Amino acid sequence: MSEAITLAGCSSPKASDAQRPVLRERGQREVFCGLTGIVWLHRKMQDAFFLVVGSRTCAHLLQSAAGVMIFAEPRFATAIMEERDLAGMVDAQDELDRVVDRLLERRPDIKTLFLVGSCPSEVIKLDLAKAAQRLGARHMPQVRILNYSGSGIETTFTQGEDTCLTALVPEMPIEPAGATKRLLIVGSLPDIVEDQFLRLFAELGIEHVGCLPARNARDLPPVGPNTRYLLAQPFLAETAMALEDRGAVRLNAMFPFGAEGTTDWLRAAAREFEVDELHFNRVIAPGRERAKRAMEHARGELEGKRISFLPDSQLEVPLARFLSKEMGMEAVEVGTPYLHRAHLQNDLALIADSARISEGQHVDRQLDRVREDRPDLTVCGLGLANPLEAEGLTTKWAIELVFSPIHGFDQAGDLAELFARPLRRRDRLEV
């Protein structure tokens, strides 16, 4: 495996954030694969089904990440490829057709079926795009069949959502001719959080607001040159490109974490839709105040503490901004699997120059730096947490941040609390 470390950018940090030095690393990685996204995507899109074409390992991962649904009809499954599929002794496309036909016959409630690629299906070059096209022609209009990759080859787990949403973009209707400007929230949010944002946009007077993904996968909002979109998640680079190919324009903002991030995110839309500044302040003031009060609860534990992020969820940069600017923590290292400078520029600009920003993964070197830095809190993947705890370091599981509602004013207190809890636990253990 090739190993490389390079320091990109010029030597005067913050001369411009586009030139901020970034430590780039390539090496062994410790992350979940894109199949993990099915856990939150199947809850969001209530008429969709995710059929992973993979191995027993893929099935185990899904089952243990999502838990077993006993009382409900599950909305994900794995078509397990057996040895004879992998050895090319049978036509895997025929087998897949049989599985899909059986599934759709048994489950008429499925309106969108995602065929999800995995490492094994990619290794044997099983063409799921072709399968989706063939099966789609057979089952349309009752069921729309799409495909995307959840494989763990050279990816991290949040990319599963990115590839899934990218597959949905071509299905979004074309904006009607002469359409008025509309807003699109991009990124899967828990329904309760999405409702809070939709209420705020309605109060601001922004009328046409859609969400990608939509709760009903058959109910996608239109897209076109009159669409302005706000990214709710920082890991949607491909989706953003697909939307821009259809004419949509991204609104530049911080990500909606904490009181300041949420205000900035809402303000970007308010400006674009020419909402009066006084009206904007009046609408957001109660939520903003609530967020600040709720965050105070965790301030005692977080203020002045040092934090390092190992590259994992791609939420690292906006969360480091939130913790350092709004909670008074010191970011020591902010490692992220991929650094999308354009999407992250507003958050990145507010992270102190003293913080080491790294992109990519080389788990051994990163662990060595954590051991040397000895931060008060290390945010990392599940597999790294226990060994670090055994060495006396306090950790936080990065994946928990993806599964928890953390966006917006009303979740700001809970978000701060997620970081305060391990520090509190450590203090109790030390007493």
The nearest distance, CB 63 to ligand SF4, in angstroms, is 11
**In whole angstroms, how close is the CB of 260 to ligand SF4 at the nearest point?**
36
150 or 213: whose CB is closer to ligand SF4? 150
Beta strands in 89-195 (DSSP E): 112-117, 144-149, 182-186
Under the binding rule (CB under 6 A), the answer on residue 413 touching ligand SF4 is no
Instruction: Determine if 252 is a binding residue for ligand SF4 (CB under 6 A).
Output: no
Does residue 155 bind ligand SF4 (CB under 6 A)? no
53 binds ligand SF4 (CB under 6 A): no
**Binding of residue 166 to ligand SF4 (CB under 6 A):** no
Min separation Cβ 62 and ligand SF4, Å: 8
The DSSP secondary structure of 232-291, one letter per residue, reads: SSTT-HHHHHHHHHTT-EEPP---S-HHHHHHHHHHHHHHHTT--HHHHHHHHHHHHHHH
**Cα–Cα distance for residue pair 118/396, rounded to 1 Å:** 28
Nearer to ligand SF4, 166 or 308 (CB): 166
Q: What is the dihedral of CA 309, 310, 313, 315, to 10 degrees?
A: 20
Q: How far is the CB of 127 from ligand SF4 (least distance, A)?
A: 17
Residue in 31, 33, 113, 145 binding ligand SF4, rule: CB under 6 A? 33
Task: Answer for the pair 8, 20: CB distance below 8 angstroms, yes or no.
Answer: no
What is the bridge-based pairing of β-strands 395-397 and 330-336? unpaired
The DSSP secondary-structure symbol of 320 reads: H
156 versus 233: smaller Cβ distance to ligand SF4: 156
Provide the minimum distance between the beta carbon of 339 and ligand SF4 in the complex, in angstroms, as a whole number: 23
Q: Min. distance of Cβ 116 from ligand SF4 in angstroms? A: 9
Sequence-ordered alpha helix ranges (H) in 303-405: 316-321, 341-348, 363-373, 382-390, 398-403
Residue from 61, 367, 406, 423 touching ligand SF4 (CB under 6 A): that is 61
Count of residues that interact with ligand SF4, criterion CB under 6 A: 12
Q: What is the Cα–Cα distance from 214 to 186, expressed in whole angstroms? A: 10
Q: How many CB atoms neighbour CB 352 within 10 A?
A: 13
Cα dist from 25 to 5, 21, 55, whole Å: 5, 13, 30
* 140/146 Cα distance (integer angstroms): 11
Nearest-CA neighbor of 115 among 142, 87, 143?
A: 143
One residue of 48, 51, 119, 184 binding ligand SF4 per CB under 6 A: 119
Q: Give which of 269, 250, 288 is closest to 208, Cα–Cα.
A: 269
Stretch that binds ligand SF4, among 6-14, 68-76, 149-157, 175-183 (CB under 6 A): 149-157
Q: For Cα atoms 236, 3, 5, give the angle at the middle one, nearest 5 degrees.
A: 75
Among 112, 147, 151, 159, binds ligand SF4 (CB under 6 A): 151
CB nearer to ligand SF4: give 164 or 185. 164
Length of the chain counted residue by residue: 431
Query: Does 81 participate in binding ligand SF4 (rule CB under 6 A)?
Result: no
Binding of ligand SF4 at residue 345 (CB under 6 A)? no
Question: If we measure between CA atoms, which residue out of 228, 220, 271 comes closest to residue 247?
Answer: 228
- Judged by CB under 6 A, does residue 196 bind ligand SF4? no
Helix (H, G, I), strand (E, B) or coil at 72: coil
Q: Which is nearer to ligand SF4, 61 or 92 (CB)?
A: 61
Contact between 152 and ligand SF4 by CB under 6 A: the answer reads yes
> What minimum distance in Å lies between the beta carbon of 431 and ligand SF4?
41
Q: Which is nearer to ligand SF4, 46 or 57 (CB)?
A: 57
Whether the CA torsion 189, 416, 402, 404 is positive or negative: it is: negative
Among 13, 24, 26, 57, binds ligand SF4 (CB under 6 A): 57
Residue 159 CB, nearest distance to ligand SF4 (Å)? 12
Residue nearer to ligand SF4 on the CB measure, 58 or 295: 58
User: Which positions lie near ligand SF4, rule CB under 6 A?
Assistant: 33, 35, 54-55, 57-58, 61, 118-119, 150-152
